[in-house]
Structure 1
Amino acid sequence: MPSYPHADPRHAFFDGSEARISFWEWGDPDGQPVVLVHATGFHARVWDETVRHLPDSYRIISVDMRGHGLSEKKGLLLDWSLVAHDVSELLDHLALKNVIGVGHSMGAHCMSQVALAHPDMFERLLLVDPVMMEPERYATDGKAELMDPAEHPVGKRRDQWRDWQEMYDRFKDRHPYSLWKPQALEDYCRYGIRPHPDGEGFALACPPHVEASVYIGSVNGCLYGRLNAIKVPVTILRAKGRAPGDEKLMDFAISPTWDQLHTEFANARDVHLPHLSHFMPMQDPALTAYFILNATATADEAIAAAK
């Protein structure tokens, strides 16, 4: 699949009603918009390798969700509607139309909420291994009791680094980062840290307690019963699932996506990619880009094109 030598992205901030949101743009400002929303704990620049496979004729916009990247760090994210509100306001501000909406993991959940709020804004959606779990995993009343993010394993992540290179060297041989393209991992590390507030080295751009709060809030994020209001075509890319008996295994590379999710939408299809992990945009950015560009691509077509 061809790779395009994009110029450095344009960066801007949008002052929303609740948070200041950072976003990056590539390509033609008058082209068809492609909006990218990243996964929990990541940032807008983890899409750089995918963007390399998208032509400059598109207007490509990648958003730092609240609490991530360069966007404002403002409280916990136990309520997933907060980030969707921010992204909705940004897209309203940019007056976008005919959007190809792309979200990965929790970002796909966010993109679905945005499409529900803006039924006429999108041409289609690409949901990359969305965090939309089996119905029984959600709180029946939508109000599960939530733990303290500081007690969650993610809330105890290492949060001090000498520089991005130290972070890269620490992660490159560790699962699941070892599955990623090296440049994608470099982008994650290079743009995923910020000067530490105490003046010593660098800290994660998404603070561990904020990242943990997103994971904890997932049980209250059920959209079932509403998704059929999205009438545009939806493609769901689904990675390798859990093997029987592995239900309690904490492996972030395993797909969190319900295998019947496509039935909840009015016009959706399920594309199963069991050779890929949950981190498929970083593991195979060319394949991800192929699905962005080709609305009806099959798994076999995308795999062949990405070689």
Structure 2
Amino acid sequence: MSREQTSSPEEHRYSVNGVTLSCFEWPADRDHASEPPVLLVHATGFHARCWDQVVSRLDGRRVLAVDMRGHGRSAKQAPLTWDVFGEDLAQLVRLLGLDGAVGVGHSMGAHSLVQAAAANRGAFRRLLLLDPVIFPPDRYVPDQLPGDYRDHPTARRRNQWSSWEAMYERFTNRAPFCHWENAVLEDYCRWGLVPAEDGDGYVLACPPWVEASVYVNSLGADIHAQVAGLPVPVTVVRAKAPPAQRESMDFSSSPTWPDLAASFPNGRDLHLPGHSHFIPMEDPDLVADLIVDDQGV
């Protein structure tokens, strides 16, 4: 189910909202040129090439995958607040000239995608939100000031690696990575490192301080007004229901507000109790099927 383009997308760089973003493009083949393009938006701590195994199952459609601010090959530049991620993506959507695209976001990427769709009516024909980090309205903190990332556990992630293979070997038997499709974990490691500035090996393409900053600022961008006013069909895919007292960094269950789909004018809820928060990593076949399923909303 692979396609030759998957290993060699075209990388483009765009200046938006005061920052430079990388965006990878798999052009459509001749047989799929008339089909709507697909925009893929990754989760916190990830990068555009984590979608490679999903792309390989999309049969030659035009696909675009963005490295969000602070992640992948994009600039590591503050502010790293959720409203800014949405503004970045909204501007990128305009530069890409999207019209009637299928928008797919995972976790923080799904939150940003809702903001971008609300700011660009007509850019998307439908949205697929994979376990979006969108909480109940009463969880948000009005006028939240940027948080201090230094005490967050992800700020202490191992950053230095000798190679992507060493990173892969380290993670392959550890949760949650051991539950991922093996090829996805390889892509996560292969494209998730960049050469260290001092020339000594490699460092994470999403530095630990960036990842921690994103998490501590997660309650400062209430998008429920945008949710209520977004008319396009939206499928909300939720992972396993969380326990009564869910830890903030427990990715074995879903952070998504269970009533989110009902808050969209044209929303559908799809609950996957057999999956963790890492749905695209665990089941790229399912995600690809949901992307091409125009009858599913």
The TM-score, its normalising length taken from structure 1, stands at 0.90
- What is the percent sequence identity of the aligned residues? 45
Give the corresponding residue for 1:226.
226
Within 1, Cα distance between the matches of 2:230 and 2:165?
42
C-alpha distance in 1, partners of 2:212/2:255?
Answer: 16
Q: Are residues 1:75 and 2:78 paired?
A: yes
Partner of 1:284: 283
> Equivalent residue of 1:219, what SS?
coil
Letter in 2 for 1:250: M
Distance 1:85 1:173 in 2: 38
Matched, 1:38 2:37: no
CA distance in 2, matches of 1:235, 1:5: 29
- 2:200 corresponds in structure 1 to 200
Question: What are the residue-to-residue correspondences of 1:1-307 with 2, within 5 Å?
Answer: 2-6=1-5, 8-28=8-28, 30-31=33-34, 32-56=36-60, 58-77=61-80, 79-139=81-141, 142-144=142-144, 147-244=147-244, 246-248=245-247, 250-297=249-296
**How many Å separate the matches in 1 of 2:234 and 2:248?**
30
User: By how many angstroms is 1:102 displaced?
Assistant: 0.5
Q: Which amino acid aligns with 2:77?
A: K
Distance 1:217 1:69 in 2: 20
What CA distance in whole angstroms lies between the structure 2 residues aligned with 1:154 and 1:16? Answer: 27
For 1:230 and 1:69, the matched residues in 2 are separated by 29
Query: Once structures 1 and 2 are overlaid, which stretch shifts more, 193-202 or 44-53?
Result: 193-202
Whether contact under 8 Å (1:27, 1:55) holds in the other structure is no
Offset of residue 76 of structure 1: 4.0
- The number of aligned residues is 292
Q: CA deviation at 1:200?
A: 1.2
Question: 2 CA distance for matches of 1:145 and 1:67?
Answer: 19
SS of the residue corresponding to residue 219 of structure 2 reads helix
For 1:144 and 1:122, the matched residues in 2 are separated by 30
State whether residues 94 and 120 of structure 2, in contact with CA within 8 Å, keep that contact through their aligned partners in structure 1.
no
**What SS does the aligned partner of 1:226 have?**
helix
The gaps in structure 1 that reach 5 residues or longer are 299-307
CA–CA distance in structure 1, aligned partners of residues 177 and 222 of structure 2: 28
Which residue type is aligned with residue 247 of structure 1?
R
In 1: Cα distance, 2:186 partner to 2:119 partner: 35
Question: If the length of structure 2 is used for normalisation, what is the TM-score?
Answer: 0.93
CA distance in 1, matches of 2:225, 2:131: 19
Contact 2:129 / 2:234 at 8 angstroms: preserved in 1? yes
| Cα offset, 1:249, TM superposition | 6.4
For the 8 Å contact 1:225–1:264, the answer to whether it is kept is: no
Contact 2:194 2:205 survives alignment (8 Å): yes
Post-superposition, which runs of at least 4 consecutive aligned residues in structure 1 deviate over 6 A?
A: none
Secondary structure of the equivalent of 2:200?
coil
Q: Cα–Cα, structure 1 residues 97 and 42, in superposed 2: closer, same or farther, change >3 Å?
A: same
Q: Which runs of 5+ in 2 are unaligned?
A: none
Offset of residue 265 of structure 1: 0.8
CA distance in 1, matches of 2:249, 2:205: 23
CA distance in 2, matches of 1:164, 1:19: 27
